[in-house]
Amino acid sequence: MHQTVTTALDLLTGKYVFPDRAAAAADAVRERLAAGDYEGLDEAALGERLTGHLFDVCADRHLRVRLREAGAAGRTGQADAAAAWAEYLRLTGYRIARAERLDGNVGFLDLRGVSDPALGGRAIAAAMELVAHTDALIIDLRRNRGGAPDGVAFWCSYFFPDADTHLNDVYDRGTGRTRQYWTLGHLPGARYLDRPVYVLTSDFTFSAGEELAYNLQALGRATLIGQTTRGGAHPTDAFAITDTLEITIPTARSINPVTGTNWEGVGVKPDLEVPAEQAFTVAYRAALRHVLDTATAPLILDEATEALREHTD
């Protein structure tokens, strides 16, 4: 057990994006180790206790010690792990659970994760094509647990006119470099411009799902409705401690070019705070009111009128 904890601390101090915090956390854990706090624990219990002790110092929700999944890289190999992940994305629609046109010509996207566009780009483009001609759009991130920063940039690019919007920066400790993320100059399909976008959030929304919401909010491109998100802003890698235990360590940090900071530890705060289960209804009503104020086609006006009646208490 002593060696397991020591290995975890070596990885923490060598990889964590905040070296000072890593050193402080390591010192605190070493004191507990010397006091026997980790004796007699199986790996699952050890991981849970270490995670709590690291959080006490670092307050970082991405920093975790946990059992490795059956197909984790290192036991099956990087190539096998990448193939398994690609297959998971394929079988889950690249984390796009729903893409549809609602009555009143309101688009709706339910995103459970954020796929790398190298894998899910065609699915993202197809979803955006389905809602391209709607008069307002709702993006549901209430069950979104994260994904790829490149995927966030790909999604965001649909809501800005060109390649000139600076979305996010990510500083990487290992290289000492900061990568900038900008909107893309070319996209498959039409952009979604000059129409309102409503983003639904919950206290379950995490990581790249939070970045998508944060970017759109910071740039004034979307209205966020729901609850404050979970608060994990740091890109993370997993490192093996043993064959069956791993530590996930934030090796980089996000820096928003508008706010100069990120949502780590505080979450993304909605513009309109309501219980998560009510967020869709509130957003749909707002979208329908916009349609009734701006649409001219009788069919759309009739649909919007009826839908608003059905969703009004």
Q: Strand 223-226 vs strand 272-273: parallel, antiparallel, or unpaired? A: parallel
- The 10s digit of each residue's pLDDT in 86-130 is 999 999 999 999 999 999 999 999 999 999 999 999 999 999 999
Residues 6 or more apart whose CB falls under 8 angstroms from that of 14 comprise none
Position 199 scores a pLDDT of 98
Average pLDDT over the chain reads 94
Domain boundaries, the chain: 92-232+267-310
As a whole-number percent, the residues of the chain with pLDDT over 90 amount to: 89
Q: What is the pTM of this model?
A: 0.89
Three-class DSSP labels, the chain: CHHHHHHHHHHHHHHCCCHHHHHHHHHHHHHHHHCCCCCCCCHHHHHHHHHHHHHHHHCCCCCEEEECCCCCCCCCCHHHHHHHHHHHHHHCHHHEEEEEEECCCEEEEEECCECCHHHHHHHHHHHHHHCCCCCEEEEECCCCCCECHHHHHHHHHCCCCCCCCEEEEEEECCCCCEEEEECCCCCCCCCCCCCCEEEEECCCCCCHHHHHHHHHHHCCCCEEEECCCCCCCCCEEEEECCCCEEEEEECEEEECCCCCCCCCCCCCCCCEECCHHHHHHHHHHHHHHHHHHHCCCHHHHHHHHHHHHHCCC
The span from the CA of 84 to the CA of 90, in Å, is 10
Quick check: 70 pLDDT over 60? no
- The answer on pLDDT for 1 being more than 80 is no
Q: What percent of the chain has pLDDT over 70?
A: 97
How does pLDDT run across 157-201, given as a tens digit for each residue?
999 999 999 999 999 999 999 999 999 999 999 999 999 999 999
Nearest to 172 by CA among 267, 266, 237: 237
Q: Which architecture, in CATH terms, is 92-232+267-310? A: Alpha-Beta Complex (3.90)
- Can you give the pLDDT at residue 98? 98
pLDDT of 77: 60
